[in-house]
Structure 1
């Protein structure tokens, strides 16, 4: 039983997708010479590299069993796939934007029969129709930002991560059509026929995602202050306590802590009397 995973061949989400697979234990055998098809360290799993925009259709058609691509592309293509996990990277927004000097400041300012230039005609049309706006859509394949300034459109619908590119091009956001991030998707037939292996892959990936931003904090404490430690050190299901056999009255405590809380938690623990404190990275949480 072979599982073929489609990954973006280039662009800002390509390297994070490859790294996520590697962290999940499904690393590529050859990470230097990227080919159309690559083997992994699991004999049942291979990777195909293609354009991110083509991945929804390739997965829907069964050319690949799994894929990683943006929610915006999945929705734009209307691909009939199973969305399995939000992979939490490649975050962006599909927004409506107009020139800064334009009278269009908000959705209600968009006049009937306005012209919108975009690489996402289907998403844009459906959204504006849902808002009772009848507009003309002009589909472009790039350089969308320039369209209002050369008379092609009144406004645009384009992806933005931080809004910086919009500001650089003297555009202002009017409304948000869709918030997007990279998703793990599956072919619906493959998911039924190869469910066990696909769920193994999903578990590996989800374990990495769940571990992001968390640390394992371990220490020794006197048993008499254990209640204070428990209050200072909440874990996912409470801290784990075990006896230290070589030292009477001392217990070992460890718990998973959010990374941004580690500084304050460690200092609280030291004041209580904890010692031999270790802060350890977590690769996966299953």
Structure 2
């Protein structure tokens, strides 16, 4: 059975999503001429490009079996989907913000009847209601930051990655509604009926995520230095040691290490007595 993956057609998460599929060994054919439906290098998998905001609903309804989209959009649509993985990109926060000179400095300062402008009416309404605030939601489709300055709203609920744009527009954050990132989601029925194939896709993607920021360090070392090398090498389950056929006194050692540790580790290994040290990129860890 064909598995259809829904990906954002444009925006900040579109290219990272396509690249992630490529690194997982699935890949989208003819990315230069992106169409609504695209083939992949697996005959049983196809890709559908659509708006990120529509992906939760399409996956929930079964128009797509799998999708990549933000938690904010999943929650906004109250989509009944299976969340398989956090894809570790597209981090953002849905926040409440007001003009710098507003007397509102925290959630408790918001009075009933306040006007809140947002592209996320359902999430915002739910959050305020759960906190005992009866506000009026003004739904906008963009340019939310301007709403308080033209009399449309007292407060905005907007998505931000760093807060820089809000600061540039003289807005201050008073509360966070939701912390979001991009998720791999699946239709619940598809996940049950096609579990083996969907889990294979999930495994491929997770392998790429697990390999991020990791390097494979390999070296040859004399047996007499092996205990010191083992102490120095931080592997996922300890370093792997194997015999070198050309010499009884030499063993090969390798381990997966964090990229940030490589510089100091290599110098430490050299001092101990390691030689022929190789640092190799890792595409996937399964």
Give the paired residue count. 286
Distance in 2, matches of 1:226 and 1:86, equals: 38
> After the TM superposition, which residues 45-56 of structure 1 pair with which residues of structure 2 at under 5 Å, given as runs?
45-56=45-56
Q: Which residue of 2 aligns with 1:28?
A: 28
Q: Which residue of 2 aligns with 1:115?
A: 115
How far 1:49 sits from its partner (Å)? 0.4
The residue matched to 2:90 in structure 1 has which SS?
A: coil
Q: Which residue of 1 aligns with 2:152?
A: 152
Distance in 2, matches of 1:266 and 1:108, equals: 54
How far 1:225 sits from its partner (Å)? 1.3
The residue matched to 1:101 in structure 2 has which SS?
A: coil
How far 1:269 sits from its partner (Å)? 0.9
Distance in 2, matches of 1:236 and 1:141, equals: 46
Which structure 1 segments of 5+ residues have no match? none
Q: Which residue of 2 aligns with 1:200?
A: 200
Distance in 2, matches of 1:113 and 1:272, equals: 70
Q: Which residue of 1 aligns with 2:139?
A: 139
Distance in 1, matches of 2:12 and 2:274, equals: 44
Q: Which residue of 2 aligns with 1:12?
A: 12
Deviations 1:44-92 (A, max 9, x none): 1000100000000001111111111000000000011111111111111
Q: Which moved more, 1:127-136 or 1:117-126?
A: 127-136
How far 1:196 sits from its partner (Å)? 0.9
> After the TM superposition, which residues 1-286 of structure 1 pair with which residues of structure 2 at under 5 Å, given as runs?
1-286=1-286
Deviations 1:138-160 (A, max 9, x none): 11110000000011111100000
Distance in 1, matches of 2:265 and 2:61, equals: 50
Distance in 2, matches of 1:223 and 1:102, equals: 70
Distance in 2, matches of 1:229 and 1:100, equals: 57
Distance in 2, matches of 1:126 and 1:250, equals: 65
The residue matched to 1:159 in structure 2 has which SS?
A: strand
Which structure 2 segments of 5+ residues have no match? none
The residue matched to 1:127 in structure 2 has which SS?
A: helix
Distance in 2, matches of 1:128 and 1:120, equals: 12
RMSD: 0.8
Distance in 1, matches of 2:196 and 2:22, equals: 20
The residue matched to 1:10 in structure 2 has which SS?
A: coil
Q: Which moved more, 1:71-80 or 1:103-112?
A: 103-112
Distance in 2, matches of 1:248 and 1:115, equals: 78
The residue matched to 1:32 in structure 2 has which SS?
A: helix
How far 1:28 sits from its partner (Å)? 1.4
How far 1:248 sits from its partner (Å)? 2.7
